[in-house]
Homo-oligomer: A and B are copies of this chain.
Amino acid sequence: MINTTELARATAEAARVLMTLSAEQKEQILIEMASQLRKQHPVILKANQRDVQQAKVSGLSDAMLDRLTLTPERINQMALGIEKIAGLPEVVGTETLFGHRPNGLEIKKKRIPLGVVCMIYEARPNVTSDAAALCFKSGNGVILRGGKECLQSSLAIAAVLQSVLTEHQLPEALISVIPDADRKIVAELLTLKQYIDVVIPRGGEGLVNYVSENSQIPVIQHYKGVCHLYVDKDADLQKAINILLNGKTQRPGVCNALEGLLVHQAIAEEFLAELEPQLLNLGVKIHACVKAQRYLSDANLLSEAEFGQEYLALELAIRVVEDVHQAIDHIDKFGSNHTEVICTENQRTAEIFQHMVDASVVMLNASSRFSDGGELGLGAEIGIATTKLHAYGPMGIESLTTEKFLVTGDGQVRS
Contacts and interface: CB of A to CB of B under 8 A. Distances in A.
Contact of A216 (B110, B213, B376, B404): B213
Contact of A376 (B107, B332, B392): B107
Sort chain A's interface into a size bin.
35 or more
A93 to B, nearest CB: 8
Given A216-B213, A375-B101, A366 B243 contact: no
A361 B405 contact: yes
A242 B359 contact: no
Nearest to A239: B411
Contacts of A389: 114, 197-198, 218, 220, 389-390, 402
Given A246-B413, A369-B413, A405 B362 contact: yes
A363 B414 contact: no
Interface stretch (A147-155, A170-178, A350-358): A350-358
Contacts of A405: 360-362, 371, 376, 393-394
Contacts of A359: 404
A42 B114 CA distance: 48
A370 B414 contact: yes
Given A389-B218, A405-B393, A358 B115 contact: yes
A302 interface: no
- How many monomers of this protein are in the complex? 2
B197 A414 contact: no
Contacts of A110: 354
Interface string A227-244: 000000000101100110
A414 B251 CA distance: 10
Contact of A98 (B112, B366, B377): B377
Interface string A199-241: 0000000000000110010111100000000000000101100
Contacts of A193: 212, 387
A99 B411 contact: no
A3 interface: no
A138 to B, nearest CB: 12
B404 A361 contact: yes
B390 A390 contact: yes
Contact of A354 (B355, B369, B406): B406
Nearest to A363: B407
A366 B105 contact: yes
Nearest to A401: B388
Most interface-central of A193, A360, A412 (chain B CB within 10 A): A412
Counting from the closest, the 3 A-B pairs by CB-CB distance are A366-B409, A246-B413, A239-B411
Interface of A: 16, 19, 98-99, 101, 105, 107, 110, 112, 114-115, 193, 197-198, 212-213, 216, 218-221, 236, 238-239, 242-243, 245-247, 250, 332, 354-356, 358-367, 369-371, 375-377, 387-390, 392-394, 402-414
